[in-house]
């Protein structure tokens, strides 16, 4: 969980919707201060959500971490409004399952149509050399928590002692080991269907640079505007790998039945010409910071950078995401399309 929740980006969303998009919104404080993130978002509790509904909200933006027993899914009081209230967000039960990186990657690998990295979950650091060999991995490898946020806990391990130490720091059965991909890294935002676009579609690829020991730094430490750029279409046209990875990411979103934007991190296996992008991380909740509030000019998200590649402003992006909202009833009823 992010300390303090997502009040900062929630305030960004609310401010831009109100001030730029001129969409009426309700907030827990009547006139929250644009220079502060407090007062813009209702609490992520049953009481908080009901308070928003009773204040007149007919569409709720779930800018938060969802899970199977979240009030969105289980509250009987919210259930009374399920057919009338629209929600920008994912089905809670899907999020809980898909936040398990190994679960999703293993499922996608089984399909046989996606370009996926070799990976496995280490129960602990015991006999790790044999386990690497058994799964066809060689050093360096990436070790990361099965459930995580951004690049926190993600490390490129180049020696066995370093790898064993990092596995132990993550805890039993929580270290996902993955082949290290040395090529260019990118990320693809996929939008869900809406009235104007009835199928899943991908925004331009955003590439990452200035990695720290092989890993893109967490955006809470380094703003993405300092180490990321959108790939212009004429540049993407010169490398078929860009179009291919966009189509693969769309297929992932379609297969997983997502109902809100997702962001898939990808990286080329090597720097060799003609190398393909490999899909390594499906993010169910892309960061949605949107420049607009005073002092937040450099807080564009990776998705906002991709949207800029389409000529969209942050307000255009939020309007288009708003158009993908589903009824709470629909989000509650969606069944997990994959089984363990």
Mean of pLDDT over the chain = 93
If asked whether residues 301 and 193 sit together in one domain, one would say: yes
The domain tally of the chain equals 2
Q: Is 119 left (phi over 0), alpha (psi -120 to 50) or beta?
A: beta
* For range 227-241, the mean pLDDT: 95
Nearby residues of 264 by Cβ (< 8 Å), 6 or more positions away: 187, 188, 190, 249, 252, 279, 281, 282, 283
Confidence of residue 217 (pLDDT cuts 50, 70, 90): low
Residue 208 lies in a domain: yes
If asked whether residues 259 and 306 sit together in one domain, one would say: yes
If asked whether residues 127 and 156 sit together in one domain, one would say: yes
What is the per-residue pLDDT for 274?
Answer: 85
Q: What is the CATH number of the domain that holds 131?
A: 3.30.1490.20
Residue 152 lies in a domain: yes
Residue 294 lies in a domain: yes
144-153, 251-260, 268-277: range with lowest mean pLDDT: 144-153
If asked whether residues 249 and 275 sit together in one domain, one would say: yes
What is the per-residue pLDDT for 218?
Answer: 56
Cα gap 219→151, rounded to integer Å: 9
If asked whether residues 159 and 255 sit together in one domain, one would say: no
If asked whether residues 201 and 297 sit together in one domain, one would say: yes
Confidence of residue 291 (pLDDT cuts 50, 70, 90): confident
If asked whether residues 214 and 250 sit together in one domain, one would say: yes
- Among residues 164, 179, 194, the one where a domain terminates is 179
Query: Is pLDDT above 50 for 145?
Result: yes
Confidence of residue 340 (pLDDT cuts 50, 70, 90): very low
Question: How do residues 310-337 score in pLDDT, each as one tens digit?
Answer: 999 999 999 999 999 999 999 999 988 7
- Among residues 131, 154, 179, the one where a domain terminates is 179
If asked whether residues 190 and 252 sit together in one domain, one would say: yes
- Among residues 179, 202, 217, the one where a domain terminates is 179
Q: In Å, how far are 148, 298, 299 from 294, measured between CA atoms? A: 30, 10, 11
Residue 236 lies in a domain: yes
If asked whether residues 151 and 239 sit together in one domain, one would say: no
Residue 240 lies in a domain: yes
Answer for the pair 59, 87: CB distance below 8 angstroms, yes or no: yes
Confidence of residue 260 (pLDDT cuts 50, 70, 90): very high
Q: What is the CATH number of the domain that holds 268?
A: 3.30.470.20
Residue 232 lies in a domain: yes
If asked whether residues 203 and 259 sit together in one domain, one would say: yes
Q: Is 112 left (phi over 0), alpha (psi -120 to 50) or beta?
A: left
Question: Cis omega before residue 140 (within 30°)?
Answer: yes
DSSP string, 245-285: HHHHHHHHHHHHT-SS-EEEEEEES-SSTTPPEEEEEEESS
Residue 111 lies in a domain: no
What is the per-residue pLDDT for 4?
Answer: 75
H runs (alpha helix) in the chain:
7-19, 46-54, 71-74, 76-79, 92-98, 101-111, 128-134, 160-170, 233-236, 240-256, 302-308, 314-322, 328-333
Q: Is 78 helix (H, G, I), strand (E, B) or coil?
A: helix
Range of the domain at 304: 182-312
Query: Is pLDDT above 70 for 338?
Result: no
Residue 196 lies in a domain: yes
Residue among 50, 55, 54, 52 nearest 41 (CA): 52
What is the per-residue pLDDT for 135?
Answer: 96
Query: pTM of the entire structure?
Result: 0.93
Question: How do residues 49-91 score in pLDDT, each as one tens digit?
Answer: 999 999 999 999 999 989 999 999 999 999 999 999 999 999 9
Cα gap 119→234, rounded to integer Å: 34
If asked whether residues 199 and 137 sit together in one domain, one would say: no
Query: Is pLDDT above 50 for 1?
Result: yes
6-15, 17-26, 292-301: range with lowest mean pLDDT: 292-301
If asked whether residues 261 and 293 sit together in one domain, one would say: yes
Q: Would you give the DSSP letter of residue 288?
A: -
Query: Is pLDDT above 60 for 219?
Result: no
What is the per-residue pLDDT for 210?
Answer: 77
């Amino acid at each position: 969980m992010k300390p303090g929740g997502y009040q900062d980006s929630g305030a960004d969303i609310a401010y831009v919707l109100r001030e730029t998009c001129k969409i009426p919104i309700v907030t827990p404080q009547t006139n929250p201060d644009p220079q502060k993130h407090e007062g813009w978002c209702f609490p992520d509790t049953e009481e908080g959500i009901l308070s928003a509904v009773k204040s007149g909200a007919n569409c709720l933006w779930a800018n938060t971490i969802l899970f199977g027993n979240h009030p969105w899914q289980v509250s009987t009081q919210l259930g009374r409004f399920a057919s009338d209230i629209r929600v920008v967000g994912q089905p809670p039960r899907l999020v809980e399952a898909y936040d398990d990186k190994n679960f999703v990657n293993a499922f996608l690998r089984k399909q046989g149509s996606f370009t996926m990295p070799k990976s496995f979950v280490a129960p602990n650091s015991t006999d790790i050399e044999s386990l690497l060999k058994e799964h066809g991995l060689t050093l360096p490898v990436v070790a990361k928590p099965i459930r995580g946020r951004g690049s926190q806990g993600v490390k490129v391990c180049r020696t066995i002692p370093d790898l064993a130490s990092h596995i132990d720091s993550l805890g039993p059965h929580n270290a996902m080991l993955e082949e290290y991909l040395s090529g260019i890294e990118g990320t693809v935002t996929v939008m869900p269907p809406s009235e104007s676009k009835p199928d899943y579609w991908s925004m331009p690829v955003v590439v990452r640079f200035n990695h720290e020991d092989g890993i893109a730094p967490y955006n809470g430490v380094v703003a993405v505007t300092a180490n990321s750029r959108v790939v212009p279409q004429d540049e993407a046209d010169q490398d078929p790998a860009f179009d291919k990875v966009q189509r693969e990411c769309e297929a992932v979103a379609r297969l997983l039945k997502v109902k809100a934007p997702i962001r898939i991190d990808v990286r080329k296996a090597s720097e060799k010409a003609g190398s393909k992008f490999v899909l390594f991380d499906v993010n169910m909740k892309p960061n949605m910071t949107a420049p607009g509030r005073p002092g937040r000019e450099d807080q564009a998200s990776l998705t906002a950078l991709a949207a800029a590649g389409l000529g969209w402003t942050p307000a255009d992006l939020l309007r288009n995401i708003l158009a993908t909202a589903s009824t709470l009833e629909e989000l509650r009823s969606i069944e997990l399309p994959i089984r363990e």
